[in-house]
Chain A
Amino acid sequence: MLHIENLHVKIGEREVLNGIDLHIKEGETFILFGPNGSGKTSLLMTLMGFGNYTVTEGKIVFKGQDITAATTYERARLGLGMSFQRPPTIHGLPVRQMLKLIARGRDVDLEGMARQVNFHQFLERDVNAGFSGGEIKRSEILQLMAQKPSLVLFDEPESGVDLENMALIGRTVRELIENGRTPEPGHSMKELRARRQTSGLIITHTGYILDYITADRGQVLYNGHLCCEDSPRRILEHIRQYGYKECVRCLRVPAGLADAPQE
């Protein structure tokens, strides 16, 4: 689904990513950890192709196509979808109209989708105008539901969300990524899982989202480098206990030894 090879990225003169390699398979959900300023958001922004992020080396291949030089909308139409953490307000554009534009003529049940994220009462409001943290998340998820991406990039689904809303957001993110699969007669969950097409790349600080979704793999981004691949739950526990300082040590260990037990 997504192959990132030796990706180097600059914002202006400052290098923010130095040599990222990352593969995400079809249907796989990948969790990205890392302290503030480590380059997580830059990675997502680069994948989406935003202007300020200049790829100086390496490439991004999505669904077999090299999209390193593709425009943002080409990537979106190819199936990359991103949930913004701080999206801008679009004055004079109601959510309903935005959803229609996103659906690009496809027949979608706007009302039904909006009800699913408890957002139907916001359809006539201008996109992001005066939305609270939780409302922004629900609006972003709703827009992604209309977009139907095959890889969802999610920047901190839990930020600015109260506990009550967290459950709703967790469930709908699962819905979005796992396509609401429940066991069916005649098919095992394993088979259904294999049929699942949507992948996810999710940034999290708190890990609350892990209570709701099945995350396959995780890794820590530190100072523009990826390190410490493990199961997301184990990474989370480790960071909770020791912080990110362990990642610094891990990066110092010569390649090849990095996978060896540290204790």
Chain B
Amino acid sequence: MDKVDLSQFQFEGLEAQHLSDLRSLDEHDRERLLMSGVDVSELGRSGSFLHMDHAEAYCNTKNEGVEIMDIKDALKKYDGLPEYFWKLVDKDKDDYTRKANEVLQGGYFIRTRPGAKIKEPVQSCLFIKSQKAGQSVHNIVIVEEDSELHIITGCAVSRDTQSSAHIGISEFFVKKNAKLTFTMVHNWGENVSVVPRSAGVIEEGGVFQNNYVLLKPVKYLQMYPTLTLAGRGAVARFNSVMVAPKGSHIDSGNRIILNAPDTRGEIISRTISTGGTIIARGDIQAYAVPARGHLECKGLILGGGVIHAIPELKGAAEGVELSHEAAVGKIAQEEIEYLMARGLDEEEATSTIVRGFLNVDIMGLPAKLKESIDRTIEESQKDMF
């Protein structure tokens, strides 16, 4: 798979109009947002952020414990964010990071107050509406000491958008005893190329739970978010669910670096190919003890395609405990027959098993988002059998 040719896309000049209300989006766009976990009514949300094409379109904070603004405003307000901006991701890593450094369209800056437990999620959406649009955003999330935050971020393209590209730099800072749940739902299109570059650092006693859901086609997705556990007792978890229909090329990994004693890392990925290609990578590295890590990547091939699971473990200290479990296969006939013996027909049985396999339940998502994901899984099952 060739890299994304950035010269094919327009990175400037598509500044969206500012919206006074998310409900002013048209029906199709609202629908796309909803599928990505973004509720335009903003009920049950602590705040919202929308970046459309090349600029911020909406930003609203409902909870004074959390600050949400466009990254450009944050850079101005906080003198360029010297402790955070380009601190975890190398701006010279590749063509995409260089492009992102060269063209900064926006992105979100989200920071909690120390000790603030933000119960309702903050929602954000990076949306592409124009043809041939190249989106380049930079996001910074800071969860201050003893605070808690859940961010739901949906990335989507408008129904009519054909070809586009998205570069997203994300840097996460989870401070001492803080907790971040970050749920990302991708709804790109079959002509959209996506290259997120994400990294996070978790300090002592901090927890980072990262959920990733991709059920819709994408032309090309390549990412390898890395979380470093830098303080004693820090915990990181990745849960990913990916479906690749024909035409999708997904190269996606998760990396956890256990750099302090008493740290734990877990990577779980569930992938289904219905004709596309998935390279499911995973890497846990341990440089301190005691440290525990477990990596589980399981794939089902339903209706063609390729799944290439590449789990890696590196222990660099005596006493580390790292393990992995990888499987690529099909639905067991025995399981289908078991459910059929209880009265489920073959289709009900297989869809029940697939839904259980994808196991979105463990992500602990708000009911509405969970429903929307369940519906999308159901729709995508048409390609599976």
Residues of A within 8 A of B (CB): 48, 50-51, 71-73, 76-77, 81-82, 84, 87-88, 90-93, 98, 101-102, 104, 126, 143, 147
Q: Contacts A77-B343, A92-B361, A101-B342 hold; do A50 and B356 have CB atoms under 8 A apart?
A: no
Query: B337 and A72: CB pair below 8 A?
Result: yes
- Can you show 5 pairs from A to B with CB atoms below 8 A apart? A81-B341, A87-B338, A88-B334, A88-B338, A91-B357
Cα distance, A72 to B359, chains bound together (Å): 26
Cα distance, A174 to B356, chains bound together (Å): 33
Query: B332 and A76: CB pair below 8 A?
Result: no
Residues in B with CB closer than 8 Å to A76 are 340-343
For residue B358, CB closer than 8 A to chain A, the reply is yes
Q: Contacts A50-B337, A51-B333, A101-B348 hold; do A91 and B356 have CB atoms under 8 A apart?
A: yes
For residue B346, CB closer than 8 A to chain A, the reply is yes
Most buried by B among A48, A51, A90: A90
Residues in A with CB closer than 8 Å to B160 are none
Cα distance, A88 to B344, chains bound together (Å): 16
Q: Contacts A51-B333, A101-B348, A101-B352 hold; do A92 and B340 have CB atoms under 8 A apart?
A: no
Residues in A with CB closer than 8 Å to B340 are 71-73, 76
Query: A73 and B345: CB pair below 8 A?
Result: yes
- Chain B interface size, as a band, is 20 to 34
Residues of B within 8 A of A (CB): 332-335, 337-346, 348-349, 352-353, 355-359, 361
Q: CB-nearest residue of chain A relative to B335?
A: A88
Residues in A with CB closer than 8 Å to B349 are 73
Residues in B with CB closer than 8 Å to A71 are 340, 345-346
Which of B341, B346, B356 is in CB contact (< 8 Å) with A92?
B356
Closest CB in chain B relative to A139 CB, distance in Å: 12
Cα distance, A98 to B356, chains bound together (Å): 11
Residues in A with CB closer than 8 Å to B342 are 76, 81, 98, 101-102, 143, 147
Q: 20 extra interchain contacts, Cβ-Cβ under 8 A, other than A71-B345, A72-B337, A93-B352?
A: A50-B341, A51-B333, A51-B337, A73-B344, A73-B345, A81-B342, A84-B341, A87-B338, A88-B332, A90-B335, A90-B338, A90-B352, A91-B357, A91-B359, A92-B356, A92-B361, A101-B339, A101-B342, A101-B352, A147-B343
Which of B334, B343, B353 is in CB contact (< 8 Å) with A104?
B343
Residues in A with CB closer than 8 Å to B345 are 71, 73
Residues in A with CB closer than 8 Å to B352 are 90, 93, 101
Q: CB-nearest residue of chain A relative to B356?
A: A92
Q: Closest 5 A-B residue pairs measured CB to CB?
A: A92-B356, A92-B359, A72-B340, A76-B343, A93-B356
Residues in B with CB closer than 8 Å to A126 are 356
Residues in B with CB closer than 8 Å to A93 are 352-353, 355-356
Closest CB in chain A relative to B30 CB, distance in Å: 30
Closest CB in chain B relative to A198 CB, distance in Å: 16
Q: CB-nearest residue of chain A relative to B348?
A: A101
Cα distance, A50 to B337, chains bound together (Å): 7
Residues in B with CB closer than 8 Å to A50 are 337, 341
Residues in A with CB closer than 8 Å to B356 are 90-93, 126
Residues in B with CB closer than 8 Å to A143 are 342
Residues in A with CB closer than 8 Å to B337 are 50-51, 72
Cα distance, A143 to B337, chains bound together (Å): 15
Residues in A with CB closer than 8 Å to B343 are 73, 76-77, 102, 104, 147
Query: B358 and A92: CB pair below 8 A?
Result: yes
Q: CB-nearest residue of chain B relative to A144?
A: B342
Most buried by B among A77, A91, A92, A126: A92
Q: CB-nearest residue of chain A relative to B358?
A: A92
Query: A101 and B359: CB pair below 8 A?
Result: no
Residues in B with CB closer than 8 Å to A72 are 337, 340-341
Residues in A with CB closer than 8 Å to B339 are 90, 101
Q: CB-nearest residue of chain B relative to A75?
A: B341
Residues in A with CB closer than 8 Å to B335 are 88, 90
Cα distance, A84 to B345, chains bound together (Å): 18
Cα distance, A102 to B345, chains bound together (Å): 11
Q: CB-nearest residue of chain B relative to A86?
A: B334
Cα distance, A191 to B344, chains bound together (Å): 35
Closest CB in chain B relative to A138 CB, distance in Å: 16
Cα distance, A50 to B359, chains bound together (Å): 27
Residues in A with CB closer than 8 Å to B359 are 91-92
Cα distance, A91 to B331, chains bound together (Å): 11
Most buried by B among A48, A72, A84: A72
Closest CB in chain A relative to B325 CB, distance in Å: 12
Cα distance, A98 to B359, chains bound together (Å): 14
Residues in A with CB closer than 8 Å to B338 are 84, 87-88, 90
Closest CB in chain B relative to A67 CB, distance in Å: 13
Closest CB in chain A relative to B377 CB, distance in Å: 11
Residues in B with CB closer than 8 Å to A51 are 333, 337
Cα distance, A77 to B341, chains bound together (Å): 9
Residues in B with CB closer than 8 Å to A77 are 343
Cα distance, A104 to B349, chains bound together (Å): 13
